[in-house]
Amino acid sequence: MDVVTDNIFSIQLALGVKALLNLSVIGLNWQVMHKSFMGYFCISLAFLDLVQIVNTSIIYWFTNFAILGFHITIYHIYLFLQISTHTYSILHWPVFIIAGLDYYWTFPFSKPLSLTRKAVYAASLALVWISAVMYVFFISDYDSEDSSSPVEHHSFFKYKVIKSQCASLSLVVLAVITCVVIYCRSGFLSLFKSFRGESYTEESSSFFFYNLDLDEGYLKKPILTYIAVCFIGTWFPFVCLQSVIMVFRIDVLPYLELNVPWLCFLNSFLIGAVYWHLNQDIAGLKHCEIPDGFCNWIFSPNPDCIKKALPDATSVTVAIIITP
């Protein structure tokens, strides 16, 4: 029993840290969290994680009790955790695809968010969660009897063999980032060589100078360089963390893999991808509310404006300023 108690304490600690991290990120970025499907999903995930830690704590402290005729024991913690683990492990790709389609169809982003879109987000959110739970119970090989059996209380250690979609999605995202860096290597090299830090608007800022070729393939490559610098400059520590996890094949429990910071990382990636694919006028985004609380997607001046202002120029040098 001591082994079970120690395991449950470690589970509670991990869930508590995750719930606190989720709530902190949502609280700091609340102004953009309710403006996209990804934001709605982050809020629902944080709420469900909070409910799970409360339920786990109640079962842990009361140990054995009955609710409406159902006998609840400490081993039901493993049952609930197994259900959430299987559910979370299959949600990475669906949420990523739905959020990508949402940004593709609604870009450039309108403000304020219409009541119809809010209803669509709420319905989509309910459909995603219900479908995932139904899949776990009726299609997957999940066995609830083994999860709650006292004989199988060490099933906690089986989580590592559950196939999560996080690894494959992380691999795809890192591969795309690598390809973008290779494709825009000349621009990146110029930026890194010209880097210098100075005080700008009473804040410490990073300055990069980029030689912009105005005849470069409808300007998609320089725009992609802007986007890549903005994204990687913001999420560089997280990209390094994901790279270390993938290279060294570090096992992360599936119920911890699906968290709000990871979803915010994917959110920035999707916005950057849609941004570049649709090749929108960057200046026009100043009047839009981009649902991203981490990356600043406003670039000024933008390549199209430069080309219009200097019709005879073939290249110019522009400065990219990154402020915290």
Query: Residue 299: which pLDDT band, with cuts at 50, 70 and 90?
Result: low
Highest mean pLDDT among 66-75, 177-186, 207-216, 256-265: 256-265
Euclidean distance between CA atoms 154 and 162, whole angstroms: 15
Tell me what pLDDT residue 152 has.
Answer: 46
Q: Is the peptide bond before 150 cis (omega within 30 degrees of 0)?
A: no
pTM for the predicted model, two decimal places: 0.84
Tell me what pLDDT residue 195 has.
Answer: 57
Residue (of 130, 126, 56, 107) closest to 279 by Cα position: 107
Residue (of 225, 247, 294) closest to 266 by Cα position: 294
In the predicted structure, residue 202 carries a pLDDT above the cut 60: no
Identify which has the larger pLDDT, 16 or 109: 16
In the predicted structure, residue 171 carries a pLDDT above the cut 50: yes
Q: In angstroms, what is the C-alpha Rg of the chain?
A: 23
Euclidean distance between CA atoms 121 and 105, whole angstroms: 13
The pair of three-digit structure tokens given for residue 79, joined into one six-digit string? 């049952």
In the predicted structure, residue 110 carries a pLDDT above the cut 80: no
Helices (H), the chain: 2-28, 30-33, 37-62, 76-89, 92-106, 115-138, 144-148, 166-183, 185-193, 220-247, 254-257, 260-278, 303-309
Residue (of 20, 17, 11, 19) closest to 75 by Cα position: 11
In the predicted structure, residue 144 carries a pLDDT above the cut 70: no
Residues 6+ apart with CB under 8 A from 204: 197, 323, 324
In the predicted structure, residue 129 carries a pLDDT above the cut 70: yes
Residues 6+ apart with CB under 8 A from 84: 48, 52, 255
**Span 203-231, mean pLDDT?**
65
Asked if 293 contacts 32 with a C-beta cutoff of 8 angstroms, the reply is yes
Query: Residue 148: which pLDDT band, with cuts at 50, 70 and 90?
Result: very low
How many other CB atoms sit within 10 Å of the CB of residue 83?
A: 18
In the predicted structure, residue 167 carries a pLDDT above the cut 90: yes
Residues 6+ apart with CB under 8 A from 280: 107, 108
Residue (of 296, 231, 289, 298) closest to 106 by Cα position: 289
Euclidean distance between CA atoms 77 and 83, whole angstroms: 10
Euclidean distance between CA atoms 5 and 152, whole angstroms: 14
Tell me what pLDDT residue 312 has.
Answer: 55
Query: Residue 142: which pLDDT band, with cuts at 50, 70 and 90?
Result: low
Highest mean pLDDT among 71-80, 265-274, 315-324: 265-274
How many other CB atoms sit within 10 Å of the CB of residue 114?
A: 10
Asked if 320 contacts 207 with a C-beta cutoff of 8 angstroms, the reply is yes
pLDDT in tens, 60-78: 888 777 777 777 888 888 8
Identify which has the larger pLDDT, 160 or 268: 268
Specify the residue for token string 């390809």: 179
Helix axes 37-62, 2-28, angle to 10 degrees: 150
Tell me what pLDDT residue 161 has.
Answer: 46
Calculate the CA 99 to chain-centre distance: 10
In the predicted structure, residue 242 carries a pLDDT above the cut 70: yes
Tell me what pLDDT residue 207 has.
Answer: 55
Tell me what pLDDT residue 139 has.
Answer: 83
Tell me what pLDDT residue 164 has.
Answer: 78
Highest mean pLDDT among 7-11, 43-47, 201-205, 221-225: 43-47
